[in-house]
Structure 1
Amino acid sequence: MTRLSVEMLAADTVEPITSAGHAQLGIAVLLGIAVIVLLITKFKLHAFLSLTIGSLALGAFAGAPLDKVITSFTSGLGSTVAGVGVLIALGAILGKMLADSGGADQIVDTILAKASIRSMPWAMVLIASVVGLPLFFEVGIVLLIPVVLMVAKRGNYSLMRIGIPALAGLSVMHGLVPPHPGPLVAIDAVGANLGVTLALGVLIAIPTVIIAGPVFSKFAARWVDVPAPDRMIPQRASEQLDKRPSFGATLATILLPVVLMLAKALVDIIVDDPDQLVQRTFDVIGNPLIALLAAVIVGIFTLLRPAGFGKERVSGLVEKGLAPIAGILLIVGAGGGFKQTLIDSGVGQMILEISKDWSIPALLLAWLIAVAIRLATGSATVATVSAAGLVAPLAADMSTTHAALLVLAIGAGSLFFSHVNDAGFWLVKEYFGLNVGQTIKTWSLMETIISVVAGALVLLLSLVI
């Protein structure tokens, strides 16, 4: 970025809430992040409270008036929830509909019935990727665990040969592909185009999930040769239903929002005229809120009605789908508050002024920052929202595609080496009956492969588009 562009951006930037110099701001950022890390890891404080306290600490260390710090944090929290909160809620409802209607079971059973023994790991990564589109990672794990255990026992597989592809599919979707919370927050912070980010995210996700899933599972199965543990398998939703939706209807419902958002991106590229009726129409139907809302409404008729859900049961399902996301919304919102505190303190401008003389590419810088925060806090979401706030100013002079790649670089970095401070680490360990060492050799290494491969593909794409 040139000195002129930095000066132009500075002219349009709101006056920082502190007059601290670069050194003090840099120390304030490190101390603020350290507070968050310490509260999450040492004191086991909820990420929402940790981010809130860390934001206040950041402002205090930067010498900003506390009332202005509070205003920055609350405005950032509000704008973030306003930007992505409804999308997260709609995604949660769609995921609940998919699970409770038996639609997820239908997809799983259909693909497994057509898969041969040799192709089973590939079938598992396909199942996880498709099912993982509208689901949060933790929900996807709970949903797919019975299938992973069943397939491993039936085919006499090492659990890792089947489990790693499923985990890879879920994790890649979670980190790289909207409408998952992390990518959505990064898109909002960076000001990237959602459709372009979605298209490039899917493009990068395909080779990444192949390498980290079916390919890596061959090695993971040799290093950690464990059978499926004999544990109670959660009852499948379809065993409680007289009928479940068809495979085609379920798949079409899941893919509807993705198709609508991709169609908008394609029309934007081909037409490239905001006054054209076609582009204006697709700008509406391809808006993520409308796309996800359409999928939820369609899902009532394609998923819930075939499963025998009446009006009252549909209403109850929506309530149950919204309840578990309260914590996620608060974490995402607090992450947005932390991001805004960073920006209003002048940290973003500081990074711009310092990095203009660096030889390190902006995309690599974004990846490295996300990696550092991920390793420190253990949370991919915290890493994404924090890194997005730090590097957002770098997107000012970027093209549409490179701004989208910046989002994906952040998402890739946020998945790096999950370890003992990550809730996902313990979730995988307990479900698969592994010890800590085995979990690191399989799950942690798989996450690292995803992060490195996706990051490398982002850098490669930046050279050709």
Structure 2
Amino acid sequence: MLIVYLIIALVIMLGLVVFFKLNVAIALVIASLFMGIASGLGLVGTIEGISDGFASMMRDLGIPIGLGVILGKLISDSGGAYSIAHAIVKKTSEKLALYSIGLAAFVLAIPVFFDVAFLILVPLAVQIGKQLNKSLPYPVGAIIIGAALSHTLVPPTPNPLAAASILEFDLGLMILVGTIVGFIATLLTIKMYFWFLDKGFWKKETDEDATVENPYGNLDIPENPPSAWLALIPIILPSIMILLGSVGNVIFEENPEIITFLSDRIIALLIGALAAYLVAAKTLNKEQRDASSSEAMQATGIVLLITGAGGAFGAIIQGTGIDQAILDIFVSDAQSTLSIILLSFFMGVLFRTITGSGTVAGITTMTIMAGVVAGTDVHPVWVAMASLSGGLMLGHVNDSGFWITTKIAGLTVKGGMKTYTTSEALAGIIVLLITLIGAHIF
């Protein structure tokens, strides 16, 4: 019956979002109420579980997410993000220029949101595509692939940042695995997507919107922006600090207090945000930097609310003991690794396809699987990778990212399906394959 209640709770959540257009966070709380009461936690117990789950998630992620968004906004507004992208593209040969655009998108989408990375890169990418005599989907697809993979897999973006807390493993490991897998997947996915395009997948007459004038907009880059190396400091520094704690765990029996302090995600991202503030001072005055930080915090609000509500839903699920029921029904002793990875992936695909939100898909799937993975030999980082890769799949017309990329790039809905939906689906499948290999080896 716990499985039945969970299915009903998910139907309630998805129905409220899809048919009644209710905010995802509110829908998650309502689904949590149903799940807790129906499963016998009681009225008071359900409310306490929701409160505790929300508080626990915010305790671990609230400040880091806010600091990460501020960091990214300052780097973007100062022109540092453009400097990074331009430097990466400039350092590569003409033959690899489109791959370098994808790698530039991968780097930029680590500190900033997907749509910001896309908006920064698309004018540069389209210009390079014209120089190489490549049609529009080549540069646009490369940006989507790189940005989507790092935004999905590499902290401090919300989903991979939440993965370490929800599944209870080292954040440094998430940074390391997410970066390596994402980098490899970016190159492989771009190669495969270009192969499809070379075979005549794209039809300009039906896939590009000829009525759109100047779809790429005017890129407003401040004069004399920070150099690429300078702009990279706030991005790289927090990762190094967090990884310091992971290395310390290997070297020392117990990490010295100073290493534990410096590698804490709050301290690491605080240092990164302060570094971004200093870097941005090259082009932005104090009032402009303060305005940029304020805008970043406004954008953070809904992300924090959804993340916290996902934590509440996860706490209720864990309180019912359903994780053991899922383990008993879906995971056999003979194929536990394969079953867990595939279950995580397809649950992520389901939530992303219906809700259109990769954040909801990843966090919901990981909270359901958190208790399941504890009873198996599968390392939780691979469950996170499977859940997140599933949440990367099949973004379409109910996804804001679909419309941003489609309209900015001047594509039709069909063209959007052939770029945004197809490229992300390929990326999700490739990450799944790498995850299956990794889960069986490590």
TM-score w.r.t. length of structure 2: 0.91
- The alpha-carbon deviation at position 434 of structure 1 amounts to 2.4
- In structure 2, the residue matched to 1:273 is 253
Q: Which residues in structure 2 correspond to 1:25-174 (within 5 Å)?
A: 25-174=2-151
- In structure 1, the residue matched to 2:306 is 331
- In structure 2, the residue matched to 1:393 is 371
- In structure 2, the residue matched to 1:210 is 187
- In structure 2, the residue matched to 1:310 is 285
* 2:351 maps to 1:370: no
* 2:250 maps to 1:248: no
Match of 1:231 among 196, 203, 214: 214
1:29 aligned partner, one-letter code: L
Match of 2:359 among 381, 404, 407: 381
Tell me the C-alpha RMSD between the 2 structures: 2.3
In structure 2, distance between residues paired with 1:70 and 1:154? 59
SS at match of 2:169: coil
- The alpha-carbon deviation at position 457 of structure 1 amounts to 0.9
In structure 2, distance between residues paired with 1:394 and 1:53? 23
Deviates more, 1:86-95 or 1:353-362: 353-362
In structure 2, distance between residues paired with 1:90 and 1:255? 14
In structure 1, distance between residues paired with 2:39 and 2:435? 34
SS at match of 1:223: coil
Contact 2:70–2:273, Cα closer than 8 Å, also in 1: yes
Distance change in 2, residues 1:432/1:233 (3 Å): closer
TM-score w.r.t. length of structure 1: 0.86
* Residue identity (%): 27
Contact 1:192–1:407, Cα closer than 8 Å, also in 2: no
* 2:277 maps to 1:300: yes
Match of 1:260 among 234, 237, 241: 241
In structure 2, distance between residues paired with 1:135 and 1:214? 25
In structure 1, distance between residues paired with 2:417 and 2:281? 43
How many matched pairs? 433
Contact 1:36–1:377, Cα closer than 8 Å, also in 2: no
Contact 2:103–2:186, Cα closer than 8 Å, also in 1: no
Distance change in 2, residues 1:44/1:156 (3 Å): farther
- The alpha-carbon deviation at position 116 of structure 1 amounts to 3.7
In structure 2, distance between residues paired with 1:394 and 1:345? 13
In structure 2, distance between residues paired with 1:410 and 1:220? 28
Match of 2:391 among 380, 391, 414: 414
- The alpha-carbon deviation at position 64 of structure 1 amounts to 4.3
- The alpha-carbon deviation at position 363 of structure 1 amounts to 2.5
Match of 2:315 among 327, 340, 345: 340
- The alpha-carbon deviation at position 203 of structure 1 amounts to 1.8
- Deviations 1:368-413 (Å, cap 9, x if unpaired)? 22222222322211111111111111332567x8122221121112
- In structure 2, the residue matched to 1:16 is none
- The alpha-carbon deviation at position 356 of structure 1 amounts to 5.5
- The alpha-carbon deviation at position 360 of structure 1 amounts to 4.3
Contact 2:324–2:372, Cα closer than 8 Å, also in 1: no
Contact 1:256–1:291, Cα closer than 8 Å, also in 2: yes
- Deviations 1:288-328 (Å, cap 9, x if unpaired)? 22221111112222x22211x33333322211211111111
1:454 aligned partner, one-letter code: V
1:78 aligned partner, one-letter code: A
* 2:409 maps to 1:428: no
SS at match of 2:379: helix
Contact 2:216–2:409, Cα closer than 8 Å, also in 1: no
- Deviations 1:65-121 (Å, cap 9, x if unpaired)? 333222212221121122111111111101111111110121222233344432221
In structure 1, distance between residues paired with 2:268 and 2:224? 27
Contact 1:106–1:246, Cα closer than 8 Å, also in 2: yes
Contact 1:111–1:123, Cα closer than 8 Å, also in 2: yes
- The alpha-carbon deviation at position 429 of structure 1 amounts to 2.1
Contact 2:89–2:100, Cα closer than 8 Å, also in 1: yes
Structure 2 residues without counterparts, runs of 5 or longer: none
Contact 1:402–1:462, Cα closer than 8 Å, also in 2: yes
- The alpha-carbon deviation at position 195 of structure 1 amounts to 0.7
Distance change in 2, residues 1:455/1:126 (3 Å): same
SS at match of 2:112: coil
Structure 1 residues without counterparts, runs of 5 or longer: 1-23
